[in-house]
Structure 1
Amino acid sequence: MTRYRRSAAFAVAGLALLVATGCSNGAAAGGEPEVARAASTAGPTTAQERSLLYDAEQELQRRCMTAVGFRFWAVPENPLPEAREFPYAIDDPTWAKKYGYGSLFEERIKRLRDQDPNRTYLRGLPDDRRRAAIAALNGTGREGLRAELPGGVVIGHSATGCRAQAWRTLYGDLSAWYAASTLVNNLNALKQQRVTAHPDFTRTSEKWSACMRANGLSYRSPAQARAEFLGRDEARDTAREVRVAVQEARCARSSGLSAVAQRLDRRYGRELRREHRAEVDLVERLRTDALPRARTVLAR
Structure 2
Amino acid sequence: MRMPAYGTRGTAAYTTAFRVGLCALFLAAATACGAAGGAQGGDPAAKPPRPATLGELALLDQAQEALVDRCMDRAGFEYHPAAPVTADERRDFPYVVDDPAWARAYGYGGALDRRAARERKDNPNAAYLRTLSPDRQHAYGTALYGDPATAIEVTVPTGIDIRRSRTGCLADADRALYGDLREWFRVDKVASNLPDRTAELHRAPEYRAAVGKWAACMTGRGHPYASPDDIQRRLPALTKGASPGEAHAVEVGLATAEAECARSTPLSATVDRLTRRLARPDRAQYAAEIEGRDRMRLLALEHARARELPPR
Distance 1:11 1:93 in 2: 26
Structure 1 position 281 matched with structure 2 position 291: yes
State the SS of the aligned residue for 2:308. Answer: helix
Displacement of 1:134: 1.8
Distance 2:146 2:139 in 1: 10
User: For residue 6 of structure 2, what is the aligned residue in structure 1?
Assistant: none
Structure 1 position 44 matched with structure 2 position 34: no
Conserved 8 A contact 1:147-1:180: no
Matches within 5 A, 1:137-286: 137-141=144-148, 144-187=151-194, 190=196, 194-229=200-235, 234-236=241-243, 237-238=246-247, 239-286=249-296
Q: Matched residue pairs, number?
A: 270
What are the ranges of 5 or more consecutive residues in structure 2 without an aligned counterpart? Answer: 1-15, 22-34, 39-44
Counterpart amino acid of residue 218 in structure 2 = M
Conserved 8 A contact 2:18-2:119: no
Displacement of 1:227: 4.1
Residue number among 54, 69, 78 corresponding to 2:76 in the alignment = 69
Matches within 5 A, 1:11-50: 13-14=19-20, 41=47, 43-44=49-50, 46-47=52-53, 48-50=55-57
User: For residue 140 of structure 2, what is the aligned residue in structure 1?
Assistant: 133
Residue number among 88, 112, 116 corresponding to 1:109 in the alignment = 116
Displacement of 1:94: 4.1
State the SS of the aligned residue for 1:155. Answer: strand
Cα RMSD, aligned residues only = 3.5
User: For residue 25 of structure 2, what is the aligned residue in structure 1?
Assistant: none
Distance 1:173 1:63 in 2: 20
Distance 2:160 2:233 in 1: 27
Conserved 8 A contact 1:219-1:225: yes
Displacement of 1:117: 2.2
Structure 1 position 293 matched with structure 2 position 299: no
Using a 3 Å threshold, how does the CA distance of structure 1 residues 40 and 221 change in structure 2: closer, same or farther?
A: farther
Displacement of 1:108: 2.1
What are the ranges of 5 or more consecutive residues in structure 1 without an aligned counterpart? Answer: 1-9, 16-29, 34-38
Counterpart amino acid of residue 229 in structure 1 = L
Counterpart amino acid of residue 115 in structure 1 = D
Using a 3 Å threshold, how does the CA distance of structure 1 residues 241 and 51 change in structure 2: closer, same or farther?
A: closer
More moved, 244-253 vs 277-286? 244-253
More moved, 219-228 vs 231-240? 231-240
Using a 3 Å threshold, how does the CA distance of structure 1 residues 171 and 244 change in structure 2: closer, same or farther?
A: closer
Conserved 8 A contact 1:60-1:297: no
Residue number among 119, 124, 131 corresponding to 2:126 in the alignment = 119
Residue number among 76, 92, 97 corresponding to 1:85 in the alignment = 92
Using a 3 Å threshold, how does the CA distance of structure 1 residues 13 and 158 change in structure 2: closer, same or farther?
A: same
Conserved 8 A contact 1:14-1:118: no
Using a 3 Å threshold, how does the CA distance of structure 1 residues 111 and 81 change in structure 2: closer, same or farther?
A: farther
User: For residue 19 of structure 1, what is the aligned residue in structure 2?
Assistant: none
TM-score normalised by length of structure 1: 0.74
Displacement of 1:260: 0.5
State the SS of the aligned residue for 1:298. Answer: coil
More moved, 103-112 vs 61-70? 103-112
Using a 3 Å threshold, how does the CA distance of structure 1 residues 284 and 213 change in structure 2: closer, same or farther?
A: closer
Displacement of 1:274: 1.8
Counterpart amino acid of residue 180 in structure 2 = D
